[in-house]
Amino acid sequence: MKIIRLFLLFLLLTFQSCSGQNQNKNKTVRYVFVANWNLENLFDTKDDPKTNDEEFLPDGSKHWTEKRLDKKISHLAMVLQYMNENKGPDLLGVEEVEHKNLLERIIKNTSGKKYKIAYAESPDHRGIDVGLIYNSDIFKLSDVEPIKVVLPNHRETRYILHVTLNFNNQPIHVFVNHWPSRREGLKKSEPNRIAAATTLLKEIEKLYKNDSQVKIFVIGDFNDLPANISISKVLRSGIAKCNSKVQNGLLMVNLAYPLFKKGKGSYKYRDHWNMLDQILVSKSIFERNNFNYVCGSFEIIKPPFMISHSRRWEGTPFPTYGGRTYLGGFSDHFPVGALFEIQK
């Protein structure tokens, strides 16, 4: 009798072990790195009669030549390759790009991932657009929708780019943003960014209405901080504790908020760091499910070779230009990124 009991116990333990192994096999874990970067005036050297790009021509005030463009393309590719522990990002939102072919030149200078591009030309008067570089081995493109933003003064501005990707037969929605600048001053220009936020809010609410567990990434250069009205109030975004339910009232979780509260930033204006570049996610991504934010992984990406070491600009991004002076750097913004865990 004792022998029979021991045999039955052995069978039970063996079954549990096999069952656990099968469950682990079914739960294939993969990591996805999502990033955003303002590329600082990535223009080609050809005149586009539809835009005001004269500044960035060989005979323009910046003396923008093919040699300088080639160097910038090479530099941008170096940073892209550096991201995600030298594996490169899986999703990268980009701003200040004149044409899609410039992004194609960047990804040709990278290796390791099969990148493709989602892009749309915008009515911006300078001709600078936003785009999305994505790893086509993970994501399949379903749709690209440029969303027009109507400003109070009716001046043309960049589209918000809504890219719908497919992962494991579920849609992933990515909104790439480059909101109007603060050139006219914070208060005077604020209504423009509120208009952009309001336009974006309508699109997000449509998605939530159809699916409360919708997966949304809102990334970009917002020209506003996480605590400003456009992001915190209009988009109803804020900070949330990891591994817990998102508090009622929040529509989006702003992954940049913790570093912002510590005084960190992706762009330095005079003596102040500004967290202009951010990643916001829908509640279903932040809360535990099959597509999860890796807690605390949001970072400001600072490749050592991109950091300025001049006395005045110590620790800032090394830009392509300082005013009208050609410096031959990378960009005046650091990229930002975050890691996500997905289960098949």
* DSSP result, 151-220: -TT----PPEEEEEEEETTEEEEEEEEE---STT-HHHHHHHHHHHHHHHHHHHHHHHHH-TT--EEEEE
The pLDDT confidence band at residue 27, using thresholds 50, 70 and 90, is low
- Find tokens 């609410």 and name the residue: 205
Give me the pLDDT at residue 3, please: 53
pLDDT at 241: 87
pLDDT tens, residue by residue, 94-137 = 999 999 999 999 999 999 999 999 999 999 999 999 999 999 99
CA nearest 139: which of 118, 111, 159, 121?
Answer: 118
- Who wins on pLDDT, 114 or 3? 114
Average pLDDT, the chain: 91
pLDDT single digits (tens) 62-93: 999 999 999 999 999 999 999 999 999 999 99
Could you give the CA distance from residue 243 to residue 224 in angstroms, rounded to a whole number? Answer: 28
Instruction: Give residue 24's identity as a one-letter amino acid code.
Output: N
Q: Which CATH class is domain 41-343?
A: alpha beta
Q: Is the Cβ–Cβ distance between 126 and 51 less than 8 Å? A: yes
More confident residue, 311 or 125: 125
With a CB cutoff of 8 Å and minimum separation 6, the contacts of 128 are 41, 42, 43, 95, 96, 97, 98, 122, 158, 178
Residue position matching structure tokens 């929708």 = 145
Residues 138 and 232: their CA atoms lie apart, in Å, by 31
pLDDT in tens, 144-170: 999 999 999 899 999 999 999 999 889
Confidence of residue 18 (pLDDT cuts 50, 70, 90): very low
Tell me, what's the pLDDT at 40?
A: 98
Confidence band of 23 (pLDDT split at 50, 70, 90): very low
Please say if the pLDDT value at position 273 is more than 50: yes
- What is the reported pLDDT for 291? 85
Q: What is the pTM of this model?
A: 0.91
- Residue (of 296, 299, 194, 202) closest to 243 by Cα position: 296
* pLDDT of the residue at 243: 74
Does pLDDT of 19 surpass 90? no
Q: Are 235 and 190 in contact (CB under 8 A)?
A: no
Residue scoring higher pLDDT (14 or 101): 101
- The confidence score (pLDDT) of residue 289 equals 74
Q: Is the pLDDT of residue 34 over 50?
A: yes
* 240-268 average pLDDT score: 92
Residues in the chain: 344
Phi and psi at 54, nearest 5°, equal -60, -30
